[in-house]
Amino acid sequence: MRGRAEALRRLADETWDVLVIGGGITGAGVALDAASRGLRTALVERDDFAAGTSSRSSKFVHGGLRYLRSRDYGLVAQSVAEQRRLLRNAPHLVRPMAMRLPVAGGARRLVTGALLFTHDLAAGTGISRPVDGGIVFHEAQVDDARLTLAVLRTAVLDHGAVAVNACPVVAVDGEGVTVASGATARARVVVNAAGPWAEGVRALAGPGQAGPRLRPTKGVHVVVARERVPVLGDRCGLAVPDGRGAFAFVAPWEGRVIVGTTDTPYDGGAVECTDHDVELLLSKVNRALDDPLTPDDVLGSWAGLRPLVEGGDGRTELARRHLVAAGHEGMVTVVGGKLTTYRRMAADAVDVVCARLGRRIPCRTARLPIRGAGTGEGRLWLRYGTEAAGVERLGLGRPLVPGLPYLQGEAVWAVREEMALTLEDVLSRRTRATILDARAAAAAAPGVAALLAPELGWDEAETRRQVDGYLATTPSSR
Ligand code: FAD
């Protein structure tokens, strides 16, 4: 996917039916839904694709265990349906994962067992079963940043959309948007998919725009070595009830173990995983582990903001836990929801867009394969699917970061085919080196920058700047 200059030219020259602000999973989903309905579609992202919340989730494609507890069966059904679709449409990226839930005996175990059995049956991910002291049920796992990118690349490469990263929108008016370079893009409908920043983007269009108020909360995760939690199988995690209807969890991922998550109020400022967050998180899960984890075990961490919706106004249309809001003149805002339900969110939003355009075109994404979809084996296949052969053909089979499974060829592919523009794009989102082992990634950063320099035309000063920028913004040790 070379051709950023061409994408920027098209963005400015053409008139778009839909222009999407925000390149997280919601924006990527809207772009794919709109483009696959035949609408002329563009998307602009201020940072990198998935740099916001969509690379910072727990990486579950949820059936909705939490909502079973709160008896929100409608939401469970929606999540399970979307989980099933994702397993079918992106089988190379989404994989079932068994989870063990501790449940005491008696009536409670019977009821929970029956609910989880129904849940698993509907999802088609596996069959739940009682085990000593608990029940094993099934979720699915995904690399959130790669799913976002794959959805977006499907929109661009297979359905003709244009997508540009590092392109912040600074103003919105009735004609379209203005981006930071001063260039304008004309659009009939603007969709605000800026996640936790949606209120800020709405303000760019001036007062009077319809849309919900957001009250984001912060969630952190840490990564530890696989050997530190020997109770887990390769494809089995542990759900840890917190006694208040929510769950912490410990789950294998990419050869390591993810521990998550917290849910604390966010009052602005840097979105980072503090020492206090780590202590809070470990105290949640340690009661379920024989050998407690300590902060010294932490190899990597991340923090994200949940774009939670506080409430609506007279013109909002509540669609489960996500909201599509459309003012008479203004843009269409789509917020809330979760990674798992992005397709449904996008479909609801593009229905509103179509109504605004006066066109009736049905949604086509329910059975639409995500780029790379197919069945195969091997580590590269599980990240690139049918495109794995393209990565292999580059012939750069040396490790990118010592101790991690990524190859140099993946970094070059990221620049040539996946719109990576910076060292951080490559180490944090096209590969997940930063969160799997922050110190190893920091140590490898100069070598990776040297590999990327000829691809991206960096001179010595720019290469140094990339390394310094990466080291300054990513936590290299805890
Ligand atoms: P984002 O991914 O935040 O995207 C918004 C984008 O808008 C950003 O990239 C931002 O840079 C861009 N933007 C902002 N302003 C501008 C501008 N002016 N111009 C251009 N672009 C702009 N969901 C699940 O299904 N499963 C999970 O396991 C799960 N775990 C979670 C754990 C945590 C801790 C959190 C926080 C969330 C979790 N979620 C999970 C929810 C899920 O991650 C989010 O709902 C989803 O990623 C939100 O995507 P989004 O595209 O709406 O927002």
Per the structure block, which two tokens stand in for 211? 């849309």
Quick one: 403 and 468 in the same domain?
yes
Nearest CA to ligand 1 atom 32: 57
Quick one: 293 and 273 in the same domain?
yes
How many Å apart are CA 452 and CA 360, to the nearest integer? 45
Asked if residue 30 lies in contact with residue 334, where contact means CB atoms within 8 angstroms, the answer is yes
Helix (H) and strand (E) counts for the chain?
17, 21
Instruction: Answer yes or no: is 445 within a domain.
Output: yes
Instruction: Answer yes or no: is 406 within a domain.
Output: yes
Quick one: 210 and 164 in the same domain?
yes
Residue 40: per-residue pLDDT: 98
Residue 309: per-residue pLDDT: 79
Quick one: 301 and 324 in the same domain?
no
Q: Residue 301 belongs to a domain with what CATH number?
A: 3.30.9.10
Per the structure block, which two tokens stand in for 50? 């998935």
Residue 169 CA to ligand 1 center (angstroms) comes to 17
> Is the model's pLDDT at 319 over the cut of 70?
no
Residue 150 CA to ligand 1 center (angstroms) comes to 16
In 45-175, which ranges are E strands? Answer: 60-61, 95-102, 129-131, 134-141, 162-164, 169-173
Q: Residue 50 belongs to a domain with what CATH number?
A: 3.50.50.60
Instruction: Answer yes or no: is 115 within a domain.
Output: no
Quick one: 301 and 439 in the same domain?
no
Q: Residue 445 belongs to a domain with what CATH number?
A: 1.10.8.870
Instruction: Answer yes or no: is 349 within a domain.
Output: yes
Mean pLDDT within 89-107: 89
Instruction: Answer yes or no: is 27 within a domain.
Output: yes
**Which residues, listed in sequence order, are joined to residue 213 by a DSSP beta bridge?**
311
> Is the model's pLDDT at 473 over the cut of 90?
no
Residue 52 CA to ligand 1 center (angstroms) comes to 5
Of the residues 247, 281, 306, the one at which a domain ends: 306
Instruction: Answer yes or no: is 459 within a domain.
Output: yes
Mean pLDDT within 93-121: 84
Quick one: 152 and 206 in the same domain?
yes
Residues with CB under 6 A from ligand 1: 21-27, 44-47, 51-54, 56-60, 62, 168-169, 193-197, 201, 219, 261, 304-307, 337-340
Which run of H or of E encompasses 45?
none
> Is the model's pLDDT at 76 over the cut of 60?
yes
**Which residues, listed in sequence order, are joined to residue 178 by a DSSP beta bridge?**
171, 184
Residue 186 CA to ligand 1 center (angstroms) comes to 25
Asked if residue 210 lies in contact with residue 218, where contact means CB atoms within 8 angstroms, the answer is no
In 327-457, which ranges are E strands? Answer: 332-336
Instruction: Answer yes or no: is 64 within a domain.
Output: no
Higher pLDDT, 123 or 29: 29
Residue 19 belongs to what domain range?
4-54+145-214+317-357
Quick one: 344 and 450 in the same domain?
no
Residue 362: per-residue pLDDT: 98
Instruction: Answer yes or no: is 421 within a domain.
Output: yes
Provide the 3-class DSSP secondary structure of residue 220: strand
Which run of H or of E encompasses 227?
none
Number of domains observed in the structure of the chain: 3
pTM of the entire predicted model: 0.95
**What string of H, E and C letters represents the secondary structure of 275-324?**
HHHHHHHHHHHHCCCCCCCCHHHCCEEEEEEECCEEECCCCEEEECCEEE
